[in-house]
Amino acid sequence: MLTNVLLILLAVPSVFYSGKPEVSPGTYFDVVGGEKVKLNKAVQDCLGKAGHDLPLSSVDSLILIGGVSILTENEHNNYYQQCLPTILPVNTSVRVHYPVRRFPMFNDTRIVDRNPSFIIIDKPHLLPSQPYKGNRWENAQGFVECNGVVPKTFEDVRKITEDSKRPSLLNRLDLPVSGLLFLGDSDISRSTFMRMSKENKIKKQYLAVSEKKIGTGVKRLLLFTKDERGGGGMGGSKGQVLCSSDLRMSKKDGWTKCIMDVNRREEFSVEGKTRYEYTINLVTGRKHQIRSCMAFLGASLIGDSLYGPMENKGVEFEMEREEVEALEKGLQDGNSVRKRIGLRCVGVSVEERVFRADEGDFDGGKWWRKELE
């Protein structure tokens, strides 16, 4: 019988509302009428009915940043961000995100290396890895696409889309996690990354900070994620993530091995409160395993209310927008997200090459050594 099992539940909030007169982030509406209409005029009318009387120049700025999306007529019925002025066909479904979430930490992003296979960037805390609804540019992918400069005019957008290709995201760092992130700008980047990861040729090192002490050495744990079909060796509802130290579970039962090498522990104090900084080599898996496994070991990371201390079980999010919304919940200032956790990817090795993230000047230094979060 299994003991000491950590359950992390999946949250799937509903954020889209069709046909409502009010416009909140994620609202969409259908443009109706017998004549074609300009996009900015349709959006202006929609916002005006909701009590937001914006001049066309402000609506153009909303379109420019990516706050307006149009439904594509294909089998997937996806929305794509329309960052240029256009004429809408009748009965076109348009999604408006107002106000748009901005990410000023975008300016602290830097490219560490660019080669034919990969682009490696140093992502700050609280910057999304991929476009967050209503903001196409201020994220890791957008940083590479626009070369670190958010377009200010429609002509800038045209030049960017003509001269550069949006890079693909090869892995993802959670929103409150900072450090090295892989992107690819060629068709073979993803297959190369997956092959090298499978062959264990890509290794990652993290700094992790907790208020609890655990021993150094190799930690071997198993994770179980219940799939869509409800298969696997344990009960529970869809979306649950389980963590166990019982290594008798087999891969065929749905358990994934997680090995992390805690090779350094340093004790320090902030405002009289003891903390521990760990250097962790992630031998298998991804960064989610560090967060869940540290919580399972009783040393949840500082600021990590999503995975939480064991007694306050957190939430596992499959989509980054859900994580943003969860972090925003309860914040009175609606213009910034201020929750970061003590986890940073500080080093990666790709075959014989080693890349390091800044360890002294990011976020004004190691913020966890200067302030209580």
Q: Assign 13 a pLDDT band (cuts: 50, 70, 90).
A: very low
Helix, strand, coil content of the chain in percent (nearest 5): 20, 30, 50
Cis previous bond, 89, omega within 30: no
How far is it, in rounded angstroms, from Cα 342 to Cα 174? 12
User: 96, 121, 154: which is the final residue of a domain?
Assistant: 96
Please give the pLDDT value at position 339.
75
Which position has the higher pLDDT, 22 or 373?
373
Q: Does the pLDDT of residue 315 top 50, yes or no?
A: no
Counting the structural domains of the chain, the total is 2
Write out the DSSP string of 50-70: TT----HHHHHHHHHHT-EEE
How far is it, in rounded angstroms, from Cα 366 to Cα 373? 12
Percent of the chain predicted with pLDDT > 90 = 33
Q: Assign 368 a pLDDT band (cuts: 50, 70, 90).
A: confident
Cα 143 to chain centroid distance, Å, stands at 14
- 16-25, 40-49, 300-309, 354-363: the lowest-pLDDT one: 16-25
Residue range of the domain that includes 32? 28-96
User: 70, 96, 122: which is the final residue of a domain?
Assistant: 96
Is there a single domain that holds both residue 76 and residue 183? no
Please give the pLDDT value at position 210.
93
Helix (H, G, I), strand (E, B) or coil at 316: strand
Cα 156 to chain centroid distance, Å, stands at 26
Residue 185 tokens, joined: 């700008």
Is there a single domain that holds both residue 177 and residue 312? yes
Q: Assign 275 a pLDDT band (cuts: 50, 70, 90).
A: very high
Is there a single domain that holds both residue 226 and residue 88? no
Please give the pLDDT value at position 186.
82
229 within a domain of the structure (yes/no) = yes
Please give the pLDDT value at position 199.
87
Is there a single domain that holds both residue 202 and residue 302? yes
Provide the 10 A C-beta neighbour count for residue 189.
19
Is there a single domain that holds both residue 72 and residue 199? no
Is there a single domain that holds both residue 188 and residue 328? yes
134 within a domain of the structure (yes/no) = no
Q: Does the pLDDT of residue 44 top 70, yes or no?
A: yes
Please give the pLDDT value at position 136.
94
The 10s digit of each residue's pLDDT in 131-141 is 887 899 999 99
- 91-105, 175-189, 279-293: the lowest-pLDDT one: 279-293
Please give the pLDDT value at position 245.
55
Is there a single domain that holds both residue 217 and residue 332? yes
The 10s digit of each residue's pLDDT in 56-88 is 999 999 999 999 988 877 666 678 888 999 888
359 within a domain of the structure (yes/no) = yes
Cβ proximity of 208 and 343 under 8 Å: yes
Those residues whose C-beta lies under 8 Å from the C-beta of residue 58, and which sit 6 or more positions away, are none
The 10s digit of each residue's pLDDT in 192-246 is 998 998 888 899 999 999 999 999 999 888 776 554 444 333 433 444 445 555 5
Is there a single domain that holds both residue 230 and residue 90? no
Is there a single domain that holds both residue 346 and residue 229? yes
Q: Assign 320 a pLDDT band (cuts: 50, 70, 90).
A: low
User: 73, 96, 119: which is the final residue of a domain?
Assistant: 96
Is there a single domain that holds both residue 324 and residue 191? yes
Which position has the higher pLDDT, 314 or 65?
65
Please tell me the pTM assigned to this model.
0.78
295 within a domain of the structure (yes/no) = yes
Q: List the CATH number of the domain containing 188.
A: 3.30.2350
Average pLDDT, the chain: 76
Q: Does the pLDDT of residue 3 top 70, yes or no?
A: no
279 within a domain of the structure (yes/no) = yes
Q: Does the pLDDT of residue 325 top 60, yes or no?
A: no
Is there a single domain that holds both residue 84 and residue 225? no
Is there a single domain that holds both residue 192 and residue 318? yes
